[in-house]
Structures are given as structure tokens and as C-alpha cells.
């Protein structure tokens, strides 16, 4: 039990020291970092939306082609 408590206190102390150092040595301020993250997320969202739109158009074209070939088979 004593070893587990010692390990836990060491982990907590290490996490606090690490978090403090990360804040002190961060290359940008919090506001700048949040703005960068927002911009990246917006770019990713736009790319995903564009890819989804393109893929939907491809699938609709394939579906129309399949329906047309099915109709022609039924007429014969």
C-alpha cells in the first residue's frame, strides 16, 4: 500500500511539474493557440464537406447508370 501511495504521489507531482513547464515554455499564448486550432478545424471541416459532396455526386452518377441499365434490361 505504501509503494502504491508513493507511486501515485510521484505521478501527480510529475504531472504538475510537466504541466507547469509546458505552460511556461509554450511557443504561443493560449489565445493564439486556440485561434490556430479553430482555423485548422475549419479547414478540415471544409475539406471533409467538399470530399463528401464529390463522393455523393459520384455515387448518384453510378446509381443513375445502374438504373438506366436495369431499365434497358427490363425492356428487352
The domain ranges of the chain are 2-75
pLDDT at 57: 97
CA 5 – CA 18 distance, rounded (Å): 20
Confidence check: pLDDT of 41 > 90: yes
pLDDT at 25: 85
CA 38 – CA 8 distance, rounded (Å): 35
Residues comprising the chain, all counted: 76
pLDDT at 11: 92
pTM value? 0.55
pLDDT at 72: 78
DSSP string, the chain: -HHHHHHHHHHHHHHHHHHHHHHHT-SS-HHHHHHHHHHHHHHHHHHHHHHHHHHHHHHHHHHHHHHHHHHHHHH-
Q: pLDDT confidence of 76, banded at 50, 70, 90?
A: low
pLDDT tens digits along 17-39: 998 888 888 888 878 888 998 99
Amino acid at each position: 500500500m505504501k509503494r502504491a501511495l508513493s507511486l501515485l504521489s510521484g505521478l501527480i507531482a510529475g504531472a504538475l511539474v510537466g504541466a507547469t513547464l509546458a505552460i511556461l515554455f509554450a511557443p504561443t499564448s493560449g489565445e493564439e493557440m486556440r485561434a490556430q486550432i479553430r482555423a485548422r478545424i475549419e479547414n478540415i471541416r471544409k475539406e471533409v464537406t467538399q470530399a463528401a459532396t464529390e463522393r455523393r455526386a459520384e455515387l448518384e452518377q453510378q446509381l443513375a447508370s445502374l438504373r438506366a441499365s436495369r431499365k434497358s434490361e427490363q425492356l428487352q
